[in-house]
Each structure stands twice: as structure tokens, then as C-alpha cells.
Amino acid sequence: MKGISALEAIEVWQKEGVLTPEQAKLLKDSLQKKSGDIGVGHGIVIFSTIGAVLVALGVLLFIGSNWQNMGPTLRILVVFTGYIVVDLGAYATQKRGLEKVPESLWFLLSLMLGAAIFLLAQIFHHSLTFWQGPLLWMFGVLAMGFARKLEPYAFFAIPLGLLALGWFGGGGGWFMDDQMQFLVDERGLRPLLPLIGIGLIALGTVVRDRVTWAEDSLFKWGTLLIAIPLIATTVHQEIASWFFETVFTLKQLLILGGVFFVIAISLVKGKMHSDISKIALLGVAAFLVLPTLHVGGEPLVGAAIKDNLVLFLMHILVVFGISLLSVWFGIRTANRGLVNTGILAASVIILIQYFSWSFEMLHSSIAFILGGIVLIALSIFMERTRKKLLASIHTS
């Protein structure tokens, strides 16, 4: 019988139910910390990934520079030949027992798939709309993800899905004005991004123990879609009103319905650490619904913040409090990513407020001196706090 590595044994035991995903992750982390060649392994991944990206860029540049001189048959042959060559390279390196290089080549195939989709559409004179291309690309990346069972594929597929969803219904072809409008204006995804984020987190609890390679990516993208809009609304009083302005199109209502449906499934079927996780999910979802409520055609919360400085300050404190709560919740659930995100979000809010309130002094040297001191002190505080909090998770 062919021997298997420790990491492969952990994967087998996890699939057989001997180990939980949390236990498997702890064992993998422990193996990586004990491994003497971890730096070399990371270097191989970095070099092979850079090499794969360079190959992809070279192929695209070659095709782009010679595309006009090729006939349809030669164009199709070039597209498929490049894809097959990389496929064979990934297969050959994997059969030779290499671990790092073939994964970079498999991921390169996912990148080349996107180029192939749009090039073939151009060859056959099929005018892809904005949403069709990313949707087909996403399906291909997910198929590769299910085959390889690695997180990068899920992390790459999620933004492709968001682009397809945002552009859906936005016109008949490329470079149409309404394509961009349907992605970023009040008729698109912009006002719904935080709710989509909590929907992704809820979906992460549903796929936990089922599609383990996608769980972390769903949590990361969900947290990002929640954190960035909320932090952005603390910059200026008018941003919240602009960001959450929506006209509640049929597509937006269907998206909201889908988010609430996923949250409901999560509460019933999701794998959560405790009942406090369900309470937190519901609480965050309810909080994120508030900015989308409209009165008189304007966002209720955004309009109130825009016209009242005291309410704006209260809003800043609430968002800052949420970032601190995410740190506390990350400790309770042993989620290192949530702890890091909460600390980073709180620090960014502090910096935003420092520069906002000291803007009038920016012409003088004292502002730069104070700013430098604040940044250094905040960096020291962040590093010490992060180490203590992560150590408390490790020992608990």
C-alpha cells in the first residue's frame, strides 16, 4: 500500500468522522509549526504561483498581439492547446509526487478558463453580457474547487458570483453604461453588500462539515462585505445616506429574500458553536437591516445621521462597539480571523476619526508628528493585544 503523508491522513480521518474540522485544523496548524521546511514550502508556493501568473500573462499577451492575424480555426487551436498543455503539466508534476507546484498549475487552469470563455465567445461572435461571463467562470472555478478541495478556489469564486449577480439584468452587451450602474448604483448591490455579507456567513455555517474547503472563504468575504461599508460610513455624515440609498427593484427584493432564506436555513441546519452564535447571527442581521429602511424615499438611518452630528457620533460609537464585540465573539468561538478583523476594524476607525477631527491642523507639522505618534502607538497596542488574544484562544 502506498504511504500517505500526515496531512493526507488527517484529511482521511476528517472524512471518516474520526476528527472534527476544528480538530483537523488544529492538527494541521501544529504540523505546520513543527515542520522544519515551512519557509521552503511557502517559498515554493510563492515562486510557483508567480510563475503561473507570469505564464498566464505571457499567453494573454501572445494571443493579444497575434489575435488579428489568426483565423477562427487557429484561434480555437491556440486557446485549447494552452489549456491542455497546462493541464498535462499539472497532472505530470502531481504524478511525480510534487505537492506545491501542481496546485499552482491547477489554479492557473482556473485563470485560463476565464480567458478561454471570453475568447471563444469573441471567436463565435457571441456578445456575452457582463453577468454571463463571470457566471460561467464561477461554475468552472467551483468545479475545480470540488475536485481539488482547496480554499483559494472558493475565495476566487465568490467575487465572480457577486459580479454576475450585480450585473445581471444590466443591459445587452459589454461597455454598456447601464452595466456599471446595475453593479454599483442604488439599483445594484451597493446598498445590500452588508446583508449579502451576513448571508455568506450564514451560508458558511450551512456548508461547515460538508464543503469544508469553502467555509473559511465564505466567512472572510462575508466579514469583508460587512466591515468595509460600516467603516466607510464613519468617514463623513453623508456617506451612510448615499451608500444605503436603494429603490428596491425586483432583483434587490429577491436578493434580500435569498439572504433571509439562507439565514433561516442556517438557524435550523447550520453548524454553530453554541446558541450565542445564533443570537449573534440574528442580532447582526437585524442591525444590518436598519440602514436599508427608507422613509420618504431616503434611508432612515442615513438621513438622520446626515442631519444630526450627535447621531453621527453615536453611529461611530456603535460601529466601533461592533468591532470590539467581534473581537470578544472571536475569542468565545476560537475564531482567530474574527479577532484579527475586529482589531483591524477598530484601529481603522480610530485612525479615521483622528484624521477627520485633526484635518484643520494638517497644514502644520504638529499634525504629522501627532499622526506618526498615534500610528506607532496604535501599532504597538494592536500587536500586543493581538498576541494576548490569540494566545488566550490557543490555551483555551
| Among candidate residues 186, 265, 232, 204, the one with its CA nearest the CA of residue 356 | 232
Quick check: 389 pLDDT over 70?
no
How does strand 294-295 pair with strand 298-299? antiparallel
Quick check: 218 pLDDT over 90?
yes
Collapsed DSSP state (helix, strand, coil) of residue 172:
coil
Collapsed DSSP state (helix, strand, coil) of residue 299:
strand
Query: What pLDDT is stored for residue 109 in this prediction?
Result: 85
Quick check: 209 pLDDT over 60?
yes
Q: What confidence category does residue 108 fall into, taking pLDDT thresholds of 50, 70 and 90?
A: confident
- Condensed to tens digits (0 to 9), the pLDDT of residues 10-25 reads 777 777 776 777 677 7
Considering the chain, what is the average pLDDT of its residues?
A: 78
What is each CA distance from 175 to 121, 143, 322, 391, in whole angstroms?
15, 29, 39, 51
- Cell for 109? 487552469
Q: What DSSP state is assigned to residue 171? A: -
Place of cell 462539515: 209
Q: Measured on CA atoms in the order 18, 24, 27, 31, is the torsion positive or negative?
A: positive
Please give the model's pTM, rounded to 2 decimal places.
0.75
Average pLDDT over residues 79-89: 79
Q: Is residue 258 exposed (0-12), middle (13-18) or buried (19+ Cβ within 10 Å)?
A: middle
Query: How many other CB atoms are there within 10 angstroms of residue 315's CB atom?
Result: 21
Quick check: 208 pLDDT over 90?
no
Average pLDDT over residues 131-156: 90
More confident residue, 154 or 337: 154
Q: Which regions of the chain does DSSP assign to beta strands (E)? A: 294-295, 298-299
More confident residue, 273 or 35: 273
The helix or strand, by DSSP H or E, that contains position 306, with its residue range, turns out to be helix 300-307
- Cell for 74? 487557429
Query: d(Cα 265, Cα 272) in Å, to the nearest integer?
Result: 12
Selection from 124-133, 141-150, 172-181, 340-349 with the highest mean pLDDT: 141-150
More confident residue, 365 or 277: 277
Q: What confidence category does residue 383 fall into, taking pLDDT thresholds of 50, 70 and 90?
A: low
Q: What confidence category does residue 370 fall into, taking pLDDT thresholds of 50, 70 and 90?
A: low
Beta-carbon contacts of 133 under 8 Å, excluding residues fewer than 6 positions away, are: 114, 117, 118, 121
Average pLDDT over residues 135-150: 91
Query: d(Cα 2, Cα 342) in Å, to the nearest integer?
Result: 45
What is each CA distance from 342 to 169, 325, 336, 364, in whole angstroms?
36, 8, 10, 32
Quick check: 267 pLDDT over 70?
yes
Query: What pLDDT is stored for residue 157 in this prediction?
Result: 95
> Which letter, b or e, does each residue of 341-350 get, where b requires 16 or more Cβ atoms within 10 Å of its Cβ?
bbbbbbbbbb
Taking a C-beta distance cutoff of 8 angstroms, is the pair 198, 262 a contact?
Answer: no
- Condensed to tens digits (0 to 9), the pLDDT of residues 23-66 reads 777 766 665 554 444 444 555 556 566 666 666 666 666 666 66
